[in-house]
Amino acid sequence: MAPHPWALPTAIIWNLAGIALGLYTFVSPLSAGRIFGLDLANISGSESLSDNVSLRMIPVFGGRNVAIGVAFFALYWQRMPKAMGTLLLSLMVSGTVDTVVTGTWGPSDKAWTHALGSAVLGLCGWGLLM
């Protein structure tokens, strides 16, 4: 049975966005951290990565997003939709953790963004497995 026709294009767009955001964390960790929903109000734009532990951790999340995107496209290149679906469903775990952590210690609107992202990952994963 072939994957749902909407699942693959949506997953590709979502993974491209994840890679782009991941790369952005290396260019501008402070801005990317705010996009992720981290409370970085007390950090000035002039601080370098070496000056602040919080800023040093943001590229770690970006690296995770880039690695996941590369893995997804490696599976796409090998024409393995079921493996892509399994990967995306597995990513719901990290998305759910991001949602809970952001909802607990960050702004609620960013938690909803993480929740929506997790839902899209899950739906795309399910669509690729069907």
Q: What is the pLDDT of residues 13-25, one digit of tens each?
A: 999 999 999 999 9
As given in the structure block, the two tokens for residue 108 are: 């609620």
**pLDDT over threshold 60, residue 49:** no
Share of residues in the chain with pLDDT > 90 (%) = 62
Determine the number of helices (DSSP H) and then strands (DSSP E) in the chain. 5, 0
Structure token digits, residue 1: 């049975």
The band of 47, judged by pLDDT with boundaries at 50, 70 and 90, is low
For the chain, give the mean pLDDT.
88
Q: Which residues contact 126 (CB under 8 A, 6 or more apart)?
A: 7, 85, 89
Q: Whole-model pTM?
A: 0.83
Residue 116 has pLDDT above 90, yes or no: yes
Mention every residue, 6+ apart, whose C-beta is less than 8 A from residue 68. Answer: 15, 18, 87, 91
pLDDT at position 92, please?
Answer: 93
The CA distance from 117 to 100, in Å, is 13
